[in-house]
């Protein structure tokens, strides 16, 4: 690699020097005309101080060096044109020498003072512009949830602040080829020339340098004469020694390489993007670890929750089946039917448990799709009660469903399972012989309310918000640690929400627990 494109810099410096020399010539020419006017028609004996106007103007416009050069030029011009003998550099009297030397010294001092003030003002303006640009970049990165959304605004900001024709940001992951994450403008229709510079960071406080890494291969636009050749500039985005991407910029070669403030903005933007991308990577890794941890915790909780409930019906089924197969045991027909009924109940219990687990997994994966149809509640509820009669026993059940209610827009399979889970939950926890009431009402706005409530012991107030959470079991005194899997009500909520409804738990007016379902009315 060779140090920063010397030919481009030399051409740019030559053009700028030519403009400065032309400005100095114009300023000194105007000052000379003013001195001639003052010394001629106006008869002023020593108008040399008029040259100080040109010196101060050069200092303000071009800086201290131009002012010093203008002071020397003013000294020579006044000596040559206005001091006797004229049109020579000879000075005949000591007074004229004193005037000339005074003109030179005062001109240099005034030029240095004006130039220093101009340089300080320019430096302050440059610092303010750089600080404002870096603040805008920091604000974009801080206000965005990740670096990606902020890159579009940053690329446009860099294009304006660094006077580029185009700025785009490329991101590389795991050493792969960079992909464009943000671009201040559409890519050119013609491929860019094979010339670009890379910003090389220097140790300590030494300013970064642009290093040429490719030689130009030819002009753009198909090589037409006079077409401008552009240069591409690359600022690597790094963090902890790893390259995460690049800031790419493009400008014409006539514009030259970026000035030091522009380079500072590009370097600082790359540093901030590097930190933001590293932060995003750490956040992704932390999220992956958290997801893995929660997944493991969920698996452990699921296995811990269902292992006992799976073993209990299996043990009952094996014991009953083993007894039936034992040739040494004589069975009456009534005993055989009772044992077979026990096997059937335990198998049904096992089937419900497995169904709840599968339904919950499909609900969380978003795999359940409700097939809606209009169905009257007065026909659905009696069917479910008849099927669950062995579970509900002889407890009193009141059904209050007005015949004039509009049908509900539901999935018949889903609502059957919802009512089954709710009534089984009531039968299991409300207590034997506890009254149950099922009521429905029109809520208006196309909604139908269905309530299942009991006169049991209810649940503590602090447990109500958690009833529909996975694996949650209401703490009850005097019961063992195993009181079901805590999946039934979680499945109920998932099925109801899949059908576009809502469910809520509250204390019942009967003294126990009430489950309020809000379903959509069929249109």
Q: Would you say domain 301-364 falls under CATH 3.30.1490.190?
A: no
| Cα dihedral value 14, 18, 19, 24, nearest 10 | 140
Binning pLDDT at 50, 70 and 90, where does residue 309 land?
low
* Total residue length of the chain: 523
Nearest to 182 by CA among 294, 276, 296: 276
Mean pLDDT, all residues of the chain: 77
pLDDT of res. 486: 65
Residue pair 493/318 in contact by the 8 Å Cβ criterion: no
Residue pair 506/459 in contact by the 8 Å Cβ criterion: no
CB neighbours of 374 closer than 8 A, spacing ≥ 6? 407, 408, 409, 522
Q: How many CB atoms lie within 10 A of CB 303?
A: 10
User: What residue ranges do the domains of the chain occupy?
Assistant: 2-134, 145-218+226-284, 301-364, 366-520
Lowest mean pLDDT among 76-85, 196-205, 315-324, 352-361: 352-361
Domain range 366-520, CATH architecture: 2-Layer Sandwich (3.30)
| Cα dihedral value 104, 110, 114, 120, nearest 10 | 100
Nearest to 245 by CA among 154, 368, 116: 154
Task: Tell how far CA 403 is from the center of its chain.
Answer: 54
Asked if the domains 145-218+226-284 and 366-520 are classified in one and the same CATH topology, the answer is no
- Taking the model in full, what pTM does it have? 0.49
CATH of region 145-218+226-284, choose from 3.40.50.2300, 3.30.450.40, 3.30.43.10, 3.40.50.300: 3.30.450.40
Highest mean pLDDT among 131-135, 197-201, 450-454, 462-466: 450-454
Cα–Cα distance between 192 and 208 in angstroms, integer? 25
Per-residue three-class SS string for 487-521: CHHHHHHHHHHHCCCEEEEEECCCCCEEEEEEEEE
Per-residue three-class SS string for 117-177: HHHHHHHHHHHHHHHHHHHHHHHHHHHCCCHHHHHHHHHHHHHHHCCCCEEEEEECCCCCC
Give residue-wise pLDDT tens across range 252-291. 877 778 888 888 889 889 989 989 888 888 888 888 887 7
Binning pLDDT at 50, 70 and 90, where does residue 239 land?
confident
Nearest to 40 by CA among 86, 91, 75, 76: 86
Give residue-wise pLDDT tens across range 470-507. 767 776 655 544 455 567 788 788 888 888 889 988 88
pLDDT of res. 223: 37
Kindly state the tokens that stand for 207: 């300013």
Binning pLDDT at 50, 70 and 90, where does residue 1 land?
very low
Strand-pairing partners, residue 237, are 245
**375 three-class SS:** strand
Give residue-wise pLDDT tens across range 78-135. 778 887 777 777 777 777 777 778 777 877 887 777 777 777 877 777 788 888 888 8
**333 three-class SS:** helix
Instruction: Supply the DSSP symbol for 474.
Output: -
pLDDT of res. 3: 38
pLDDT of res. 194: 47
Instruction: Supply the DSSP symbol for 222.
Output: G
**198 three-class SS:** strand
């Amino acid at each position: 690699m060779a140090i920063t494109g010397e030919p481009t810099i030399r051409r740019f410096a030559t053009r700028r020097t030519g403009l400065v020399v032309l400005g100095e010539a114009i300023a000194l020419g105007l000052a000379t005309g003013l001195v001639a006017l003052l010394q001629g028609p106006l008869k002023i004996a020593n108008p040399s101080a008029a040259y100080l106007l040109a010196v101060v103007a050069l200092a303000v416009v071009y800086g201290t060096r131009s002012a010093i050069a203008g002071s020397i030029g003013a000294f020579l011009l006044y000596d040559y044109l206005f001091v006797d003998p004229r049109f020579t550099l000879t000075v005949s009297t000591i007074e004229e020498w004193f005037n000339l030397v005074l003109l030179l010294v005062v001109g240099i001092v005034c030029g240095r003072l004006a130039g220093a003030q101009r340089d300080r003002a320019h430096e302050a303006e440059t610092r303010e512009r750089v600080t404002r640009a870096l603040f805008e970049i920091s604000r974009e990165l801080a206000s965005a949830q990740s670096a990606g959304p902020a890159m579009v605004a940053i690329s446009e900001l860099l294009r304006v602040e660094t006077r580029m024709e185009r700025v785009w940001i490329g991101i590389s992951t795991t050493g792969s080829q960079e992909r464009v994450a943000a671009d201040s403008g559409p890519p050119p229709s013609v491929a860019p020339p094979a010339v670009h510079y890379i910003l090389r960071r220097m140790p300590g406080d030494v300013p970064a340098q642009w290093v040429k890494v490719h030689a130009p291969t030819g002009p753009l636009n198909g090589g037409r004469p006079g077409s401008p050749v552009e240069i591409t500039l690359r600022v690597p985005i790094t963090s902890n020694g790893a390259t995460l991407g690049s800031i790419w910029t493009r400008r014409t070669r006539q514009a030259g390489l970026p000035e030091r403030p522009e380079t500072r903005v590009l370097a600082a933007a790359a540093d901030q993007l590097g930190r933001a991308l590293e932060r995003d990577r750490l956040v992704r890794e932390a999220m992956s670890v958290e997801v893995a941890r929660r997944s493991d915790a969920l698996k452990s909780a699921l296995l811990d929750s269902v292992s006992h409930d799976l073993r209990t019906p299996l043990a009952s089924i094996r014991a009953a089946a083993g007894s039936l197969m034992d040739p040494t045991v004589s069975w009456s027909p009534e005993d055989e039917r009772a044992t077979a009924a026990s096997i059937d109940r335990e198998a049904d219990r096992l089937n419900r448990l497995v169904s709840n687990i599968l339904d919950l997994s499909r609900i969380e994966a978003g795999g359940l799709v409700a097939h809606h149809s209009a169905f009257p509640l007065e026909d659905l509820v009696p069917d479910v009660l008849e099927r669950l009669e062995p579970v509900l026993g002889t407890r009193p059940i009141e059904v209050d469903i007005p015949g004039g209610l509009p049908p509900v827009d539901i999935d018949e399979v889903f609502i059957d399972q919802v009512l089954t889970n709710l009534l089984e939950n009531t039968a299991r926890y409300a207590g034997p012989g506890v009254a149950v009431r099922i009521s429905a009402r029109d809520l208006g706005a196309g909604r139908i309310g269905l309530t299942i409530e009991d006169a049991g012991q209810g649940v503590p107030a602090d447990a109500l918000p958690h009833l529909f959470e996975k694996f949650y079991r209401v703490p009850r005194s005097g019961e063992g640690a195993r009181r079901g899997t805590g999946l039934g009500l979680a499945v109920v909520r998932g099925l109801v929400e899949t059908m576009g409804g809502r469910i809520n738990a509250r204390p019942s007016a009967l003294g126990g627990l009430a489950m309020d379902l809000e379903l959509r009315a069929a249109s």
